[in-house]
Amino acid sequence: MISKLAKGMACFFSDNKIIAAEDSEVYAYGIELLLSTIFNLVVAIIIALISNEFIPCFFNLTAFVTIRMYAGGYHADTHWGCMLTLVCVLSVFILSIKTISITTMSILSPILWILSAIILFRFAPVEHPNKPISEKKKMKLRKKSLISFFVWTIFCIIFYFFKSEICFYSVTGIFTLNCAMIAEKIRLHMKS
């Protein structure tokens, strides 16, 4: 569905001389990624609003996305698979924050942070075979992912002492990213 819509939009742009015909495939791919991102964002917002957990979901997803864009991670084979993964992960997160006490969140936050630091330092960035990256680019992505992690670490330390649940929301987003990195590593290993 998303792919068809993206191709249709690229054809429309090409037919109306907005883009060159030979570039329409590249634009279709870019539009497809944009539409998929928008679709997933809308789904995440709907889930956050329905569950009445917008702020926790905001911190969780923001921490996840701001590091993942540099560190990489699991890629579903289809847009529906991506959306289903998002729904499952957000549902588990929402269920956890509704059932875990703030005291337990305070205990889990440093543990999840330590595990995340180990995984991120060990694996970032996760390279996808469809998008190989040079050693120079890899080092740049690694540096950016670690800087982003460091910024979130400072944020989490500050909130750990004043509003520990916000620290937990953010750390679980970072930990989810690290699980996605491991999942992608395993998936790629199984394919090879």
Long-range contacts of 146-150 (CB under 8 A, 24+ apart): 146/120, 146/121, 148/66, 148/67, 148/70, 149/67, 149/116, 149/117, 149/120, 149/174
In a shared domain, residues 20 and 65:
no
Residue 62 or residue 129, greater confidence: 62
In a shared domain, residues 32 and 84:
no
In a shared domain, residues 91 and 110:
yes
Check: CB of residue 27 under 8 Å from CB of residue 13: yes
Which residue has 């009445």 as its token pair?
A: 52
Residue 125 CA to residue 143 CA, distance in Å, equals 9
Largest CA distance in the chain: 60
In a shared domain, residues 84 and 6:
no
Neighbouring C-beta atoms of residue 12, cutoff 10 Å: 12
In a shared domain, residues 10 and 33:
yes
In a shared domain, residues 183 and 104:
yes
In a shared domain, residues 74 and 88:
yes
In a shared domain, residues 57 and 109:
yes
Per-residue model confidence (pLDDT) at position 109:
97
In a shared domain, residues 30 and 118:
no
Long-range contacts of 30-39 (CB under 8 A, 24+ apart): 31/5, 31/6, 32/2, 32/3, 32/6, 32/7, 35/2, 35/5, 35/6, 36/2, 36/79, 36/82, 39/2, 39/79, 39/83
In a shared domain, residues 2 and 81:
no
| Number of domains observed in the structure of the chain | 2
- The parent domain of residue 2 ranges over 1-50
Percentage of residues in the chain having pLDDT higher than 70: 100
Q: What is the pTM of this model?
A: 0.87
Per-residue model confidence (pLDDT) at position 162:
92
Q: Residue 191 — very low, low, confident or very high, per pLDDT cuts 50/70/90?
A: confident
Report pLDDT digits (tens) over 147-188: 999 999 999 999 999 999 999 999 999 999 999 999 988 888
Q: Residue 85 — very low, low, confident or very high, per pLDDT cuts 50/70/90?
A: very high
In a shared domain, residues 86 and 38:
no
End-to-end CA distance of the chain: 30
Residue 167 or residue 191, greater confidence: 167
Instruction: Supply φ then ψ for residue 134, to 5 degrees.
Output: -70, 165
In a shared domain, residues 85 and 165:
yes
Per-residue model confidence (pLDDT) at position 120:
96
